[in-house]
Amino acid sequence: MTIAPLSIDSSGVNWAGNLSYGARGVVAPRSLAELRLVLADAERTGERVRPLGTRHSFNGIADTEGLLVSTAALPAEIELDAERRLVRVSGGLRYGDVAVQLQREGWAVGNLASLPHISVAGAVSTGTHGSGVRNGSLAASVASIELVTASGELVTLSRGDADFDAVVVGLGAFGVVTRVTLDLEPSFDVEQTVYERLALDAVLADLDMVLGLGYSVSLFTTWRDVDVVDQLWLKRRPDRDAAAPADVAGARPASGPRHPLPDVSAEHCTEQGGVAGPWLERLPHFKMGFTPSNGEELQSEYLVPRANAVAAIEAVRGLAAEVAPLLFVSEVRTVAADSLWLSSAFERDVVALHFTWRPKQAEVLALLPRLEAALARLEARPHWGKLFVADAAALAPRYPRFDAFTALAAGYDPKGRFRNAFTERVLFGA
């Protein structure tokens, strides 16, 4: 079988524009056969490669000095198995595109991230999540995963297989993810209500109650006023959740649509005001047709055990004078426990403290050691796709299967073709 030579495009920059890829280029195979040849050739020549999704990462997780391999040109497949409540999708597809097709067929995935623009494989591989005390991360809904290893071998793993719990949140260390099978449920409606200016002390007095008010809950604050939570976004399922309360911690519903950032138009946010609509039009914060914040922000996120959430929020409040000048907004969400080895929610329910920073990378990186030191004693795990400074020595004690993960990754990739500076720092300790 003869495969036409693949063109190599400029590697360019990531979503936010804060990182210029050091790769010699990006190759986009058009078939599984082409992908296997690309990886086999890299294995033969000794070149390093990294899988590339929608570039919505803020650190060097997808970078390499070798070749970036995009899955965007692989055939777009959405194969529904209604009887088993599963859907197999191409890893390079965006969640928003998959969601539209599922809705047409009367189905849904259990949760979505705040942005529907991210690729399925990239989101799953980094442990990306939405919110909800009973909702796991996006990776928790993976029933099987298909990837091509450095040698060009096609590997499929299903829930219950020996390596499955390591490979799903795999940080690109095992291979290029080509297909992912996701759990489904029947389509459902969601109602979204925004409350404004909640007293922080009242929220912290019963944080579990506040975060459990609905199917998905987010708290937003700028930390300019250390005594106030600026907004609470309550996403309810009317088929199972109690009615939206008249007030939360004394705060009333907003008089109109709101954006998480103060004084920014809400025209690109998903519909609010308690109006019921399909899950895919309410669970994300932003509409699929709009690309938010491209090139205008940086992000960090730390996930702590739910039992440590109040202390973690208080620790951030103690740093508010340093955090607020660099911050657009901070978001607090919940993620249910899972069994995936490098998931931030591995074996524990967590509360996520997300920081959307102004595009001042030097200043943010200078602040992160102090922020991480304040959260480290509370067992904080960083989001793998966002800015953080912790290395393997600091991270290993926070993941009970960390050493098993790195050993298994070395077995899948013995010549280190998928390693890069990021994985050397945060996984392998180089």
The gap from C-alpha 20 to its chain's centroid, in whole angstroms, comes to 21
Please tell me the distance from the alpha carbon of residue 410 to that of residue 174, in angstroms, as a whole number. 8
Banded model confidence at residue 294, pLDDT cuts 50, 70, 90: low
Question: How many residues comprise the chain?
Answer: 430
According to the model, what pLDDT value does residue 291 have? Answer: 67
Say which residues have a Cβ less than 8 Å from residue 397's Cβ, sequence separation at least 6: none
| Cβ(60)–Cβ(75) below 8 Å | no
Does position 425 have pLDDT exceeding 80, yes or no? yes
Q: Which of 408, 426, 229 has the alpha carbon at shortest distance from 316?
A: 229
pLDDT of residue 115: 84
Nearest of 145, 181, 177 to residue 32 by alpha carbon: 177
Does 2 score more than 80 pLDDT? no
Q: Is 366 helix (H, G, I), strand (E, B) or coil?
A: helix
Query: Is residue 1 very low, low, confident or very high in pLDDT (cuts 50, 70, 90)?
Result: very low
Residue range 73-87, pLDDT digits in tens = 999 999 999 999 999
Average pLDDT over residues 206-213: 97
Confidence at residue 290, expressed as pLDDT on a 0 to 100 scale: 73
Asked if 58 contacts 293 with a C-beta cutoff of 8 angstroms, the reply is no
Alpha-carbon torsion, ordered 321, 323, 325, 326, to 10 deg = 170
Residues 243-247: what's their mean pLDDT? 96
The residue among 385, 429, 381, 387 whose CA lies nearest residue 407 is 429
pTM: 0.96
Q: How confident is the prediction for the chain on average, in pLDDT?
A: 95
Q: For residues 398 and 9, which has the higher predicted lDDT (pLDDT)?
A: 398
The confidence band for 6, taking pLDDT boundaries of 50, 70 and 90, is: low
State percent of the chain over pLDDT 90. Answer: 90
Helices (H), 113-249: 120-125, 164-167, 200-205, 207-211
Q: Enumerate helices (H) and strands (E) in the chain, giving the number of each.
A: 12, 19
Q: Is the pLDDT of residue 55 over 80?
A: yes
- Per-residue burial over 379-396, b if 16 or more Cβ lie within 10 Å, else e, is bbbbbbbbbbbbebeebb
Strand (E) or helix (H) holding 238: none
pLDDT category at 289 given cuts 50, 70, 90 is: confident
- The sign of the dihedral angle between the CA atoms of 372, 376, 377, 381 is positive
pLDDT confidence band for 117 (50 / 70 / 90): confident
**What pLDDT, on the 0 to 100 scale, is given for residue 295?**
61
Q: Cα separations (Å) of 131 from 115, 210, 233, 312? A: 12, 13, 11, 18
pLDDT (tens digit, 9 = 90+) per residue, 333-358?
999 999 999 999 999 999 999 999 99
Mean pLDDT of all residues in 40-48: 92
- In order of their start, the domains of the chain are 8-70 (3.30.43.10), 78-187 (3.30.465.10), 189-385 (3.30.70.2520)
| Average pLDDT, integer, range 215-238 | 98
Q: Which residues of 144-156 are buried (b: 16+ CB within 10 A; e: fewer)?
A: bbbbbbbbbeebe
Q: Which two tokens stand for residue 357?
A: 């920073």
Residues forming beta bridges with residue 332, ordered by sequence position: 219, 353
Query: What percent of the chain has a predicted confidence (pLDDT) above 70?
Result: 97
What band does 430 get if pLDDT is binned at 50, 70 and 90?
Answer: low
Per-residue pLDDT averaged across 182-197, rounded? 98
Q: What is the pLDDT of residue 262?
A: 86
Mean pLDDT value across residues 219-224: 98
pLDDT tens for each residue of 132-166: 999 999 999 999 999 999 989 999 999 999 999 99
Assess whether pLDDT exceeds 90 at residue 3: no
Compute how many other C-beta atoms are within 10 angstroms of the C-beta atom of residue 375: 23
